[in-house]
Amino acid sequence: MTRRDFAGPDDLRAMQDLASRLWSPTSRFHPGQLAWSRYYRPVDPAALDDGEAIAIWSDGDETVGFGWAEAPDWLELQVDPGRPDVAAELVDWFEEVSDAESQSTLVMEGDVAEKALAAAGFVPDPAAPWFTHHTVDLADLLPVPDLERYRFRHVERHEARERAAVHAASWSDFGPSKVDERAYRQLMDAWPYRPDLDWVAVDAEGRMVASVLVWLDESHGAGLVEPVGCVPEHRGRGLAGAVTLAALHHLATLGGTVAQVSPRGDDGYPGPQRLYRSLGFRPRARTITWTRSLT
């Protein structure tokens, strides 16, 4: 087994290949989630931000784990369930690259890494926000509602600026978005992005007012919904749900069989979960936040 540090897009693809190989409705990552996490902001594809670190573990040509210290106090990880030894090495690596006095990570309940986290002094944090993987069988999709004065379509590659703008406006409640034209062009170039699964609602003047991005992992027929948004002045009209259904119906025509989305499961931000359940999504598995203090 070998460990290497992140050196560019090929390493992101190795992480995505692991996520694809392990994917199920109860696994931590979908390949599309890793693409979004990497390119939701402008980045140098071959370099990481200050304070960020990624390591990848391989056994021969097969990726068996990765750790992504998105910040000194926050770790994302995935480990092949058949290789619990990787989890212990990964936790040790995080301590090496992090100088934070408090450290946290998010894993699925029952994840193979939990034993290694507990041995290193991490404990579950019941007060932390948590997320639930929800899925829907595409054979059971509700019809797309007909909303007067709006239509739904997929984007074209030349529309990166407009597509970035509708996302940024939709998420303005949470502060200035890092998604801009440059970031969205990078996202469009990342696997497994495809414009025919990037859908928008447009108003009577043709302006994008709501959006949904769906990522298809063809090896499982699994589509990930990430992210969804609607600009504030057009909310309350069912656009977020309608554009999501439009994209998922198209996903089904491409051979998709199941869709996943991962909204918050706690009471701190219940709106998205209510939306997805109204579309037919049902909960399958949840995350647990583990935290330790090194002071």
Q: What CATH number did the domain enclosing 254 receive?
A: 3.40.630.30
* pLDDT band of 295, cuts 50, 70, 90: confident
Does residue 125 sit in the same domain as residue 142?
no
Taken in order 272, 43, 66, 113, the sign of the CA dihedral is negative
Closest by CA to 65, choosing from 33, 22, 95, 105, is: 22
Structural domain span for residue 58: 2-131+288-293
Condensed to tens digits (0 to 9), the pLDDT of residues 172-184 reads 988 899 999 999 9
Does residue 124 sit in the same domain as residue 7?
yes
Does residue 146 sit in the same domain as residue 211?
yes
Q: Is the pLDDT of residue 220 over 90?
A: yes
Secondary structure (H, E, C), 65-94: EEEEEEECCEEEEEECCCCHHHHHHHHHHH
Does residue 49 sit in the same domain as residue 182?
no
Does residue 192 sit in the same domain as residue 90?
no
Condensed to tens digits (0 to 9), the pLDDT of residues 84-103 reads 999 999 999 999 999 999 99
- The pLDDT of residue 174 is 86
Domain count of the fold of the chain: 2
Give the type of residue at 210.
Answer: A
- The pLDDT of residue 294 is 86
pTM reported for the whole predicted model: 0.97
Does residue 270 sit in the same domain as residue 176?
yes
- The pLDDT of residue 176 is 93
Does residue 74 sit in the same domain as residue 10?
yes
Average pLDDT value over all residues in the chain:
97
Condensed to tens digits (0 to 9), the pLDDT of residues 154-208 reads 999 999 999 999 999 999 988 899 999 999 999 999 999 999 999 999 999 999 9
Residue 13 CA to residue 52 CA, distance in Å, equals 18
- The pLDDT of residue 192 is 98
Mean pLDDT, rounded, for 34-47? 97
Condensed to tens digits (0 to 9), the pLDDT of residues 101-140 reads 999 999 999 999 999 999 999 999 999 999 999 999 999 9
Condensed to tens digits (0 to 9), the pLDDT of residues 250-259 reads 999 999 999 9
Does residue 141 sit in the same domain as residue 266?
yes
Does residue 86 sit in the same domain as residue 148?
no
Does residue 38 sit in the same domain as residue 156?
no
Does residue 264 sit in the same domain as residue 142?
yes
